[in-house]
Amino acid sequence: MFYSLQGEGPFMGIPAVFVRLANCVPPYCSFCDTPHSLKDGYDIEVIKLAEEICNFQCKLVVITGGEPFLQWNSGLKELEDILCENDYQLQYETSGKVEIPPSDNARTVICSPKQLGDFKSDEWSFLPENVSEVTSFKFIYDDNEQQIQNFIDQYEISNKKVFLMPEGRTKEEQMQKMEATWDTCARNHWKFSPRLHILTFDQKAGV
């Protein structure tokens, strides 16, 4: 858990408390930039976690992973209820590999679907029933415009919900793909999302 600015997507640049939950669902992404979240983690009581979040005095909370919804029935639902009851703005980050449970709480679900294999694959690690629960989609771009368009067409996703980010774990890799990502967004009426934390801090963790 740490306090920073959201570096990408619709909340880019906004101060936020990040809560990263451990564990994910195989197959793991070959380009994963948070491998420490695949297995490492520690147990914490929900009320204790909520108290630690409150200490940051920031009303935007980003819950990410791993796959955060793996823990829906082991504390995450309770945490969501506590935060929303106390007027926190809640954002989830998920790849959509596991079921996104419906909720009556006001929340934002950002889904970044991942392709199986390389970026030229039309196979995605994504559950179709999750489409209705997603607020916005973030796609990683690496010359895979057609594959992304195929996904958008298949699930009838509005361009207003689509954000495109250049692939890359380093500032140099981001910069090399920035112009092509920009052009692709302009051509398709998608939203462009640089990854500000990487551009600012490169490979530094916890930002």
Please give the DSSP secondary-structure letter assigned to residue 190: P
Instruction: Determine which of 33-37, 70-74, 170-174 has the lowest per-residue pLDDT on average.
Output: 33-37
Q: Which two tokens stand for residue 74?
A: 């082991």
More confident residue, 33 or 46: 46
Distances 180 to 33, 145, 177 between C-alpha atoms, Å: 21, 10, 6
The pair phi, psi for residue 80, each rounded to 5°, is -60, -45
Residues 187-198 have pLDDT tens digits of 999 999 999 999
Going from N- to C-terminal start, the domains of the chain cover: 2-159
The average pLDDT across 4-18 equals 96
pLDDT on residue 207: 80
Please check the confidence at residue 18 and state whether its pLDDT lies above 80: yes
Residues 57-85 have pLDDT tens digits of 999 999 999 899 999 999 999 999 999 99
Question: What predicted TM-score, i.e. pTM, was given to this entire model?
Answer: 0.93
| Strand boundaries in the chain, DSSP class E | 2-5, 15-20, 60-64, 89-94, 108-111, 114-115, 124-125, 136-141, 162-166, 191-192
Please check the confidence at residue 33 and state whether its pLDDT lies above 90: no
pLDDT band at 38 (very low <50, low <70, confident <90, very high): confident
pLDDT on residue 39: 74
The average pLDDT across 170-190 equals 97
In terms of Cα–Cα distance, which of 115, 35, 9, 23 is closest to 69? 23
Q: Rg of the chain over CA atoms, in angstroms?
A: 17
pLDDT on residue 147: 97
Please check the confidence at residue 22 and state whether its pLDDT lies above 80: yes
pLDDT on residue 13: 96
Residues 105-121 have pLDDT tens digits of 999 999 999 999 889 99
Between CA 170 and CA 33 the distance in angstroms is 10
pLDDT band at 175 (very low <50, low <70, confident <90, very high): very high
More confident residue, 148 or 206: 148
The domain 2-159 is placed in CATH, from the list 3.30.2130.10, 3.20.20.70, 3.30.70.20, 2.160.10.10, at: 3.20.20.70
Please check the confidence at residue 40 and state whether its pLDDT lies above 90: no
Between CA 151 and CA 36 the distance in angstroms is 29
pLDDT band at 161 (very low <50, low <70, confident <90, very high): very high
In terms of Cα–Cα distance, which of 163, 198, 158 is closest to 184? 163
